[in-house]
C-alpha cells in the first residue's frame, strides 16, 4: 500500500499545483502572522472554509510566492479513507521530493483541508511546526475541530480563524419589483 499511497499523494499534490485558483467571494477574516503557530480554520459545514484557504493561497501567489511553494491538500477523498497520522509523513516527504528547494531554504505554505479525516492529525501538525520551515493552515468542520478541541489537541500551537456563512447585501423590497 505504501507505494500506492505515495502515488496517490504525489498525484494530488501535482493536481493541486496545476489547478487554477477558483473564483471566490472574499472572506473578511484577519489572521495574525504568529511564528510557529498553525491557523485552525473552523466553522460549520458549507460556511466557506475551503474558500478561505483558496483566498490565502491566492493572496500568497499575488505576494510573489510561486505555486510550488504552496501545498493545498484536501483529505476528503475516498482513496485516503484509511490514512493515519503516520501516513502524513509520506505526504511531507512527497512534497519535498517534488520541491527539494523548499526544504529548510524557503518557507512553504501548507493548506490542509478537511484534516479531521485523519486520525491523530494533531501530532503531525505539532511535529511539523517544530521541525519544518512552513506556515500551516488546517481546516475542518467536525466537532473535533471546534475551538476548545483545537486548543486542547494542539496544546496552544494554533490560532483560530472562525468562518461564518457569507452574507450577501440585502436588496430592499422596493428594488426587487
Cα separation, 153 vs 148, whole angstroms: 8
Residue 86 lies in a domain: yes
pLDDT (0 to 100) of residue 170: 53
Cα separation, 157 vs 105, whole angstroms: 23
- The pTM for the full model equals 0.85
Residue 172 lies in a domain: no
Q: Are 72 and 111 in contact (CB under 8 A)?
A: yes
pLDDT (0 to 100) of residue 167: 54
pLDDT (0 to 100) of residue 70: 97
Residue 53's domain comprises: 40-164
Which of the two residues, 31 and 79, has the higher pLDDT score?
79
Query: Into how many domains does the chain fold?
Result: 1
Residue 15 lies in a domain: no
pLDDT in tens, 32-47: 778 788 988 887 777 7
Residue 128 lies in a domain: yes
Residue 91 lies in a domain: yes
Residue 79 lies in a domain: yes
- The number of beta carbons lying within 10 Å of the beta carbon of residue 153 is 18
pLDDT (0 to 100) of residue 72: 96
pLDDT in tens, 53-75: 999 999 999 999 999 999 999 99
HEC string of the chain equals: CHHHHHHHHHHHHHHHHHCCCCCCCCCCCCCCCCCCCEEEEECCCCCCHHHHHHHHHHHHHHCCCCHHHEEEEECCCHHHCCCEHHHHHHHHHHHHHHCHHHCCCCCEEEEEECHHHCECHHHHHHHHHHHCCEEEEEEECCHHHCHHHHHHHCCCCEEEEECCCCCCCCCCHHHHC
Mean predicted lDDT score pLDDT of the chain: 85
pLDDT in tens, 89-140: 999 999 999 999 999 889 999 999 998 889 889 899 999 999 999 999 998 8
Q: How many CA within 13 A on the CB side of residue 50?
A: 13
Q: Are 112 and 93 in contact (CB under 8 A)?
A: no
- The CATH number covering residue 145 comes to 3.40.50.300
Residue 175 lies in a domain: no
Amino acid at each position: 500500500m505504501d507505494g500506492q499511497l505515495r502515488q496517490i499523494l504525489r498525484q494530488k499534490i501535482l493536481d493541486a499545483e496545476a489547478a487554477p485558483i477558483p473564483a471566490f467571494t472574499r472572506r473578511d477574516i484577519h489572521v495574525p502572522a504568529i511564528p510557529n503557530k498553525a491557523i485552525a480554520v473552523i466553522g460549520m459545514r458549507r460556511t466557506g472554509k475551503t474558500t478561505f484557504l483558496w483566498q490565502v493561497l491566492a493572496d500568497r501567489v499575488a505576494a510573489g510566492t510561486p505555486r510550488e511553494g504552496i501545498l493545498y491538500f484536501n483529505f476528503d477523498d475516498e482513496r485516503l479513507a484509511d490514512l493515519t497520522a503516520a501516513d502524513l509523513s509520506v505526504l511531507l516527504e512527497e512534497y519535498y521530493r517534488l520541491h527539494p528547494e523548499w526544504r529548510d531554504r524557503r518557507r512553504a505554505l501548507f493548506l490542509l483541508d478537511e484534516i479531521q479525516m485523519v486520525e491523530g492529525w494533531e501530532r503531525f501538525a505539532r511535529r511539523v511546526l517544530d521541525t519544518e520551515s512552513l506556515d500551516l493552515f488546517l481546516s475542518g468542520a467536525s466537532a473535533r475541530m471546534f475551538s476548545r478541541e483545537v486548543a486542547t489537541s494542539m496544546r496552544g500551537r494554533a490560532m483560530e480563524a472562525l468562518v461564518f456563512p457569507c452574507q450577501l447585501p440585502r436588496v430592499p423590497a422596493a428594488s426587487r419589483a
